[in-house]
Structures are given as structure tokens and as C-alpha cells.
Amino acid sequence: DTGVSQDPRHKITKRGQNVTFRCDPISEHNRLYWYRQTLGQGPEFLTYFQNEAQLEKSRLLSDRFSAERPKGSFSTLEIQRTEQGDSAMYLCASTPTSGTYNEQFFGPGTRLTVL
């Protein structure tokens, strides 16, 4: 079962450092979403891609955040100059091809701790 995978699973960094997370969606899923989940909260939408195009970004995604999905396959989420408030679980999800966007398959998440 090749589900959505995320790497790393855990990341501890010092404030001010840059971090990059990777998400590998299920093969041939053309939509990919990034979410942030803080303790006691549900996932909050950050951004999504259809193939390689980034079609929407949340206002939560400050200028320090950037996401890419080259070639419409895996995606990366980079956070520059991390702050303690960035500590959260970062979730990735992908959805099947057109017509069935309504089921998201989530990865296990990357837990970021900023010291």
C-alpha cells in the first residue's frame, strides 16, 4: 500500500533556521494539499496544488512559507527563519484525479518543534 508519505516525521530546529518538508502523494493523484495542525485544533488549510500549479494559498501562509510541486509529483514546503509559533504538525493530503476530488488521503505528518 503506497499511501501518502511525508519526510521527515519529526524535525527539531532552532529559531531562525530554515526547514524543508517533503510530501510524496499517492501516484497519479493530481491534487495535493498542505495543512497545519496545532495542538487541540483541527487541520488548517495552507495551500493546494493541481498538478504543478499552486492554485490557492491561505493567509496563514506568510512570506516565510513557500511550497512547490515541480513536475506535479512530490511537493516541498519550506519555512524560512522559523519562529516558535511555527511549531505544529504539517500534514499533506492528496486526492484522486478529476471527478473524485472529495476524498483526501492524508500522510502521517511532519511534527516541527522550534526551540
The tally of CA atoms less than 13 A away on the side-chain side of residue 41 is 12
Could you tell me which residues come within 8 angstroms of residue 8 by beta carbon, excluding any fewer than 6 positions away?
A: 21, 110
Question: Of the candidates 21, 94, 107, 114, which one interacts with other proteins according to CB under 8 A?
Answer: 107
Contact characters 43-82, other proteins, x per CB under 8 A: xxx--x------xx--------------------------
Binding mask 17-36 for other proteins (x = CB under 8 A): --------------x-x-x-
- Please say whether the beta carbons of 88 and 35 come within 8 A: no
- Under rule CB under 8 A, residue 4 binds other proteins: yes
Distance in angstroms (rounded) separating the CA atoms of residues 31 and 33: 7
SS3 35: strand
Using CB under 8 A as the criterion, which residues of the chain lie in contact with other proteins when the complex forms? 3-4, 31, 33, 35, 40-45, 48, 55-56, 91, 93, 95, 101-109
